[in-house]
Structure 1
Amino acid sequence: MTDPVISLSEASLTLMGNAGKVEILKDITLKVNRGETLGLVGPSGSGKSSLLMIMGGLEQATGGRVGVLGHDMTAMDEDELALFRRDHMGVVFQSFHLIPTMTALENVATPLELAGARDAFDRAADELRAVGLGDRMDHYPGQLSGGEQQRVALARAAAPRPEILLADEPTGNLDGVNGEAIMQMLFGLRDRHGATLVLVTHARELAERCDRVIRLRDGRLDRMAEAAE
């Protein structure tokens, strides 16, 4: 039996809103196996992005347990979580979150440098070539199209060769052509590095490429939808 890379046990997330406590996630129990591609789908506000965030330690679960690669994420503080993400995860957001004063090459090399990689710029250049930006390395984000910026974000996430790739609506801000290109690259990076991929998407064609699809509704796993997949 394969040991899960990600294991959630009755994980919950409750935040304070203007009207009091808001239950975002409710008793999520879920396992993701090594090398698996898992799609998270559901209507807006169902908790998909929040679930991805607690898997990555970008949001702390307020109940239950979140285990990743054998480590209890709920027992870590913010600094420990940041180091853990640096060493084990790549995260891609719908908004690209590139540093505007850095070139594409510098954006991709920065997390490698922070991790102490001596060949940071060589590896960054290799990843940019892999996403078709070999001739755009010295360009700043403001000089790149939306599709090109998302390619840089993909390269930055993949350059450290993470064991886990998390992607939140990676094609959401792109047109059909660029969205398809990013989809191909995302799965290509997964295949090249052997990473476990978890992604949030509204795009049916992207979800259909996943090994498994989980649907959320009102902060809970939709068990009927999961059984139907």
Structure 2
Amino acid sequence: MSDPVLSLTDATLALDGNAGRVEILHGITLDVQSGESVGLVGPSGSGKSSLLMLMGGLEQATSGHVTALGQDLTAMDEDQLARFRRDTMGIVFQSFHLIPTMTALENVATPLELAGHRDAFDRALEELKTVGLEARADHYPSQMSGGEQQRVALARASAPRPKILLADEPTGNLDEANGAAIIEMLFGLRDRHGSTLVLVTHAPELAQRCDRVVRLRDGRIDGGDMA
């Protein structure tokens, strides 16, 4: 078997808060292979989103190791991590995180421009077409529904054709119809770009679409993972 795209070895995460140090993740060991789709599930507070943040280098492991595409994320500083994410990852959040003063087209083009692509706006428009929002290219987030904003966020994440696609509750703020549409688009984009997909979800229908489900409880992988 080839080397995993994502690999965590005995990774822990502890954060300092007002009430003192909080242990969030305990000894997580997990490999994700190229092209695999993995669903992270478990009760609220089980550490699902924190684990996704470790995979994306948005949180640094307190101990242990996290590697992505053979690179040790625990050895990188913030600038190195930002460049690595820009070049290799697409991240979709539950709350969209669109830039309110930018149009849909500008939001999608931004990561491409930062990566130095001269055809950033052409590629951004192509991604908006893929998610059915070509007609909304000049609209601002405040002029779009929640489902449309999440489709823009998906287009923005997939426009750089990332090797790794991370999604944190991508259907969590949407109604059933829009959630179903986002699921189809998410897996469609994964297939189109050949990305490795890891997602956090409470939605059984979304988890069932994944190749593998990893269950977390109290910051630990609960009984291994399931096919």
TM-score in same-fold range (> 0.5): yes
- AA at the equivalent of 2:102: M
Q: Name the CA distance, whole Å, in 1 between partners of 2:72 and 2:38.
A: 21
Deviation (angstroms), 1:134: 1.1
Q: Name the CA distance, whole Å, in 2 between partners of 1:3 and 1:64.
A: 18
* Post-superposition CA distance 1:4-51 (Å, at most 9, x none): 000000000011122221110000000000000000000000000000
Counterpart position of 1:47:
47
* Post-superposition CA distance 1:82-133 (Å, at most 9, x none): 0000000000000000011100000000110010000000000000000000
* Post-superposition CA distance 1:150-207 (Å, at most 9, x none): 0000000000000000000000000000000000000000000000000000000000
- AA at the equivalent of 1:107: N
Task: Tell me which moved more, 69-78 or 12-21.
Answer: 12-21
Counterpart position of 2:72:
72
Q: Name the CA distance, whole Å, in 1 between partners of 2:50 and 2:137.
A: 33
Counterpart position of 2:189:
189
Superposition pairs of residues 56-67 of structure 1, within 5 angstroms: 56-67=56-67
Counterpart position of 2:153:
153
Deviation (angstroms), 1:3: 1.2
Counterpart position of 1:179:
179
Counterpart position of 1:165:
165
Deviation (angstroms), 1:223: 1.7
- AA at the equivalent of 1:217: R
Give the TM-score of the pair, scaled to structure 1. 0.98
Superposition pairs of residues 1-229 of structure 1, within 5 angstroms: 1-223=1-223, 226-227=225-226, 229=227
Q: Name the CA distance, whole Å, in 2 between partners of 1:19 and 1:104.
A: 41
- AA at the equivalent of 2:88: H
- AA at the equivalent of 2:63: G
SS where residue 165 of structure 1 aligns? strand
Q: CA RMSD in A?
A: 0.8
Q: Name the CA distance, whole Å, in 1 between partners of 2:103 and 2:19.
A: 43
Give the TM-score of the pair, scaled to structure 2. 0.99
- AA at the equivalent of 1:104: A
- AA at the equivalent of 2:196: T
Q: Name the CA distance, whole Å, in 2 between partners of 1:51 and 1:171.
A: 18
Q: Name the CA distance, whole Å, in 2 between partners of 1:19 and 1:132.
A: 46
Which stretches in structure 2 are left out of the alignment for 5+ residues? none
Identity %: 77
- AA at the equivalent of 2:215: R
Q: How many residues align?
A: 227
SS where residue 222 of structure 1 aligns? strand
Which stretches in structure 1 are left out of the alignment for 5+ residues? none
Q: Name the CA distance, whole Å, in 1 between partners of 2:116 and 2:160.
A: 11
Q: Name the CA distance, whole Å, in 2 between partners of 1:94 and 1:186.
A: 13
Deviation (angstroms), 1:2: 2.0
